[in-house]
Amino acid sequence: IIASLITCTNFSVFSQVSTTFQQSAASINPAASSYKRCGTGVLPQQFETWLQTLQPVGGGKGGGDNSIETIFTIPVIVHIVHNNEAVNTPTALSGGNLNAAQVIDQINILNRDYNKKNPDTTSIPGVFKPVLGNMRINFCLAVVNPTGGIMPEPGIDRVNRVAKGWTASPYTQTYIDATIKPNSIWDPTRYFNIWVLDLGSSLLGYATFPNPGTTGLQGLSAPYGSPTTDGVVILNKSFGSVGTAVSNPPYDKGRTVVHETGHWVGLRHTWGDATCGDDYCNDTPTSNTSNFGCPAFPHVTCSNGPNGDMFMDYMDYVDDNCMEMFTKDQVYRAQLIMPNSILRYTLLTSTVCNLPSSTNDIGLSNIIAPTYSSVLNCNSYINPIVAITNFGTNVITSATFTYNLDGVATQTLAWAGNLAPGASNTVNIPQMNGVSNGTHAFNISILNPNSTADSFMGNNYSNQPFAITNGYTIAASGATTICSGSQATVTASGGATSYTWNPSAITGTSAVVNPASTTIYSVSGTYSNCVKIATVLVTVNLTPTLTANSTTICVGGTATLIASGAPTYSWSTTQTTSSIMVTPASNTTYTAYGINGTCVSSKTLMVTIGSSLGIVPIANPTAYCNGGSTTITASGASTYTWMPGNLNGSSISVNPSSSTTYTVSGTAATCTGSNSILITVNPNPTITATATNPTVCIPGPGTTLNGTGASTYTWQPGNLVGSAVVVTPASNITYTVVGSTAAGCTNTQNVSVIVNPKPTVNVATSTPTLCNGEIGTVFAVGATTYVWNPGNLSGSTVSVTPSSTTTYTVTGTTNGCSDIQTITIVVSPCTGLSSYAASNFQLSVYPNPFKDELNFKVSEEVRVSIYNAIGQLMKSETISRLGSISTSDLPNAVYFVQVKGANQTRVLKVIKN
């Protein structure tokens, strides 16, 4: 056994990249041949033996479908080792003294990837998406140093190697582990240590594995972490995705730290560090070796078709932008190791991320928009939104924002409000325009709370990388005024590659149009997958359609000539009124001109000398809707008679119900004459109004109101327009629709909608946790009828006997409206006894699950400590040989029992039910 331990614990730390494979990787991505992806050592088999003692024994690799699902918070300290250099600017592409913005960016990446919030999960092949896992690990920058002082830069320890007397970089792993780490490490039981420096041998990074401290393997050398070496080491050009990382593609997305932190929590490489090796996770396909670049899916090796390697896993060697996931078994493995490794579970209760109280302390909680690494398509602007928090004890009523893009053109915004201690709020920053295509950084800080100095400056700055693609603008010109029947040219400009004008669907930068009336032309400018619209107004002044009467008068008589159809008039007689009087001695031709702005039309008319009068009837209006009326006036005679109706007078009012021709006969002296005029009566529409769903539920999608029988429709309330409109009423309501025909005739109709509220269903159980085979009860309130699944059970209260942890769904219905809720009953195997035996130490803990008492049988006097799932100490007592601890005051939950003897310490998981 000793020989085996020596063999397994003296594995050298190596790059795990063969020369042959590096050459093939270079053909995929030339940068891959310049770096060794990872220098972390290989875990000995004793680690897997220890790990098997912490989990159920099963066939094959890993923990199967087990899921602990604990949320861990890990405090981080970043040791930036530099060569006596000034601090980099946020956008510096070189230099070893990294800016705080680059550190914050890397922590954001860790929190995104370890909580399954990375947007590139959409690129994971569909066959692998079902095993996508969520580590549920949060990383926070420490704000308190080891002596309790507040740090000027959260989570950053700037280490001047010149002042330390260390040799110049680049550094080997041997020098780092023997000199740099022991002389700069912060207590690894309180801080997750990350060193960022210039590495030798073109290495990107390496990590230490969790030391299985309580198993008898204490004091083991690399690859395990120790109080002087535990942590992660990263090349300063592969840290984060901004600053110096920008100069180092394809390792410029912060995934080196994600990969090495995966080792730090206990994960192996996906190929098991051997040809077709084992990483002890069931849901990662067996792979021949590491992958580089961005392989095409599927990449089949080790007879793992048809799906091939899971090369997009964070624990492979592909480029940063191709790493996208952890699996559920990797999550289970890490979550099993974290509370059982001596240098991991102590971190879970560290408070170094908590600030001491202060008076005026305002800070940036996070940047809401633009989102992390978001790509803003089509728009050349951003609308920033930030969240602020009052971390102090005073109410904050004012502060000052300073912000910029890419470090230039800094702007200032005065904020006023009322932010109570501990409260948070969102603030909309004014729109930032003219953002060019490409990658950018939005930088913002908040200062001067209550017009005083901020008592803690560690939370006042943040930045967010994002990208603009296809940002462009378009404009339309050619606004003009034309006469009807004429043409106009409209023109588009801007950054689009193609344009389409509507109406008429004319394509091209320019379009020749001839609208019949004033029209807004819209142009759709397309660039790549983006479409933007601009408009231009073409005003059409109508060329008048002129009407003028010819007439016949008696000798010596006077004729009245009338023109209509234009705003202004001009006659060949030089008169400018719509009606003129002439007394020609013989037959005479006259010309009337109708004028509308610059638009002119003409009409020629004749005055004839004869024995007949020229009688002119005029109606106002000549057409109306059924139920209306009109007035008809005649001129050209002295007396008048109208038919039908045998009415007398120069002017009559009539209201026929259908279109009618009226004839007027007139006399003057010895002359007579007659003329006719048509009065057009347009019918009113017959309107029908219906609702697609006359009864609706709220909240819900509402219903569609439908109108027929007219050309246009307007609905009230809401002033909604269209033959079909969607409404979402909050209560019973009657809608009225006004339907209009093309002639302008209207009618109305009503339709009613009944609104029923959706029920609010609440669910509960008196048996949230069961042993296998026990009967449980779930019940619901808030509705009239209920259906439960699985099982298709009816009733507000039902009994269930799940054989495994089950989520029950209940559908509650009242008046046809439903609400759906779920509740989970946890089923435990309730095995009864947890025990451990060694040659010099025996331990039994029972029953398991337990209720009001937990019993112990040990071979020596021990100290028993009970912790909850997040590491809080709940009880601690000393027991000799036989004893028990009262647990009646503990809530039902999963607990970890630490039994510590003179030479042995054992941690067991128990369940209170």
pLDDT classification of 480: cutoffs 50, 70, 90 = confident
Number of continuous H segments (helices) and E segments (strands) in the chain: 9, 61
201-213 pLDDT tens trace: 789 999 999 988 6
Q: Is the peptide bond before 125 cis (omega within 30 degrees of 0)?
A: no
409-427 pLDDT tens trace: 889 999 999 999 888 899 9
Compute the distance between CA of residue 486 and CA of residue 129 in angstroms, rounded to an integer.
62
**pLDDT at position 774, please?**
73
**pLDDT at position 346, please?**
85
Q: What average pLDDT does the segment 296-309 reach?
A: 95
**pLDDT at position 15, please?**
28
**pLDDT at position 55, please?**
55
339-370 pLDDT tens trace: 888 888 888 888 888 766 668 889 887 788 88
Q: Say yes or no to pLDDT of 134 above 70.
A: yes
Mean pLDDT taken over the chain: 86
Compute the distance between CA of residue 316 and CA of residue 258 in angstroms, rounded to an integer.
11
CB atoms within 10 A of CB 830: 17
Q: Say yes or no to pLDDT of 63 above 60.
A: no
Q: Which of 696, 694, 636, 708 is nearest to 666 (CA)?
A: 636
Q: What average pLDDT does the segment 495-508 reach?
A: 89
Q: What average pLDDT does the segment 864-892 reach?
A: 91
Compute the distance between CA of residue 796 and CA of residue 638 in angstroms, rounded to an integer.
93
Compute the distance between CA of residue 226 and CA of residue 211 in angstroms, rounded to an integer.
7
Q: What average pLDDT does the segment 648-660 reach?
A: 94
**Torsional sign, CA 132, 137, 138, 142:** negative
**pLDDT at position 495, please?**
80
Q: Say yes or no to pLDDT of 68 above 60.
A: no
- 776: tokens are 């449980």
Q: In 716-850, which ranges are continuous DSSP H helix?
A: none
Interacting residues of 773 by C-beta distance below 8 A, sequence separation 6+: 801, 803
Compute the distance between CA of residue 186 and CA of residue 22 in angstroms, rounded to an integer.
36
Q: Is the peptide bond before 223 cis (omega within 30 degrees of 0)?
A: yes
Compute the distance between CA of residue 183 and CA of residue 199 in angstroms, rounded to an integer.
17
625-643 pLDDT tens trace: 998 999 999 998 889 999 9
pTM recorded for the entire structure:
0.44
Helix (H) or strand (E) holding 333: helix 328-337
Q: What is the largest CA-CA distance in the chain?
A: 147
Compute the distance between CA of residue 358 and CA of residue 393 in angstroms, rounded to an integer.
6
156-197 pLDDT tens trace: 999 999 999 999 999 999 999 999 999 999 999 999 999 999
**pLDDT at position 871, please?**
81
Compute the distance between CA of residue 438 and CA of residue 272 in angstroms, rounded to an integer.
39
Lowest mean pLDDT among 21-25, 61-65, 105-109, 196-200: 21-25
Q: What percent of the chain has pLDDT over 70?
A: 91
Q: Which of 326, 349, 327, 279 is nearest to 110 (CA)?
A: 326
pLDDT classification of 854: cutoffs 50, 70, 90 = very high
Lowest mean pLDDT among 127-136, 694-703, 772-781: 772-781
Q: Which residues are catalytic?
A: 260
**pLDDT at position 197, please?**
97
E-strand ranges in 869-904 read: 873-886, 893-900
**pLDDT at position 62, please?**
37
Q: Which of 819, 781, 814 is nearest to 699 (CA)?
A: 819
71-104 pLDDT tens trace: 788 999 999 999 999 999 888 999 999 999 999 9
Which H, E and C letters describe 158-187, residue by residue?
Answer: EEEHHHHCCCCCCECHHHHHHHHCCCCCCC
Q: What average pLDDT does the segment 31-54 reach?
A: 77
Q: Say yes or no to pLDDT of 488 above 80.
A: yes
pLDDT classification of 142: cutoffs 50, 70, 90 = very high
**pLDDT at position 7, please?**
27
Q: What average pLDDT does the segment 816-840 reach?
A: 77
Interacting residues of 704 by C-beta distance below 8 A, sequence separation 6+: 691, 692, 693, 724, 725, 726, 727
* One-letter amino acid for residue 373 of the chain: S
Contact between 189 and 350 (Cβ < 8 Å): yes
Q: What average pLDDT does the segment 794-801 reach?
A: 93
Q: Which residue has the higher pLDDT, 722 or 346?
A: 722
**Torsional sign, CA 118, 123, 125, 130:** positive
pLDDT classification of 769: cutoffs 50, 70, 90 = confident
Compute the distance between CA of residue 271 and CA of residue 292 in angstroms, rounded to an integer.
13
Dihedral-angle region of residue 634 (phi above 0 means left; psi in -120 to 50 means alpha; beta otherwise): beta
237-248 pLDDT tens trace: 999 999 999 999
| C-alpha Rg value of the chain to the nearest Å | 43
Residue owning tokens 């006359």:
694
**pLDDT at position 38, please?**
86
Lowest mean pLDDT among 367-371, 699-703, 721-725: 367-371
Lowest mean pLDDT among 29-33, 288-292, 326-330, 653-657: 29-33
779-797 pLDDT tens trace: 999 999 999 999 999 999 9
Lowest mean pLDDT among 214-223, 285-294, 455-464, 736-745: 214-223
Lowest mean pLDDT among 118-132, 310-324, 338-352, 402-416: 338-352
Rounded to the nearest 10 degrees, the angle between the axes of helix 2-9 and helix 45-52 is: 110
531-569 pLDDT tens trace: 888 899 988 888 878 787 888 777 777 888 998 988 899
